[in-house]
């Protein structure tokens, strides 16, 4: 991977950005020490998206799930704390 010092990066910014956009990452250094890595956005690591249903078979939902706590909710709406 190529390394450019900050001064070269400033004077050649357009060319270097185009290079990164074409899939050629590079490092920017200050006083010879790498301080930043420039990579194209589409090559960033992305987290795997878990599909819907990934917990199937691992949890169970009670049959009365949609009615759980119904009496409590009714009591609260009636103002009977």
In tens, the pLDDT along 38-53 reads 988 765 566 777 788 8
Q: Is 67 among the domain residues?
A: no
Domain that holds residue 33: 3-41
Please report whether residue 75 resides in a domain: no
Identify which of 13, 11, 40, 14 has the alpha carbon closest to the alpha carbon of residue 25: 40
- How many C-beta atoms surround the C-beta of residue 16 within 10 A? 19
What pTM was estimated for this model as a whole? 0.48
Determine phi and psi for 56, rounding to 5 degrees. -60, 130
User: Quick one: how many helices (H) and strands (E) in the chain?
Assistant: 3, 3
Average confidence (pLDDT) over 75-79: 87
Question: Does 74 reside within a domain?
Answer: no
Indicate the number of domains in the chain: 1
Say if 66 falls within a structural domain.
no
User: Token pair 């939902």 is at which residue?
Assistant: 61
What's residue 9's pLDDT? 78
């Amino acid at each position: 991977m190529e390394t450019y010092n900050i001064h070269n990066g400033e004077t050649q910014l357009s060319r270097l950005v185009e290079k990164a956009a074409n899939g050629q990452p590079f490092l920017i250094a200050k006083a010879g020490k790498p301080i930043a890595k420039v990579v194209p956005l589409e090559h960033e690591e992305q987290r795997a998206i878990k599909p819907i249903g990934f917990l199937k078979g691992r949890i169970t939902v009670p049959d009365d799930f949609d009615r759980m706590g119904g009496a409590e909710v009714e009591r609260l709406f009636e103002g009977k704390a």
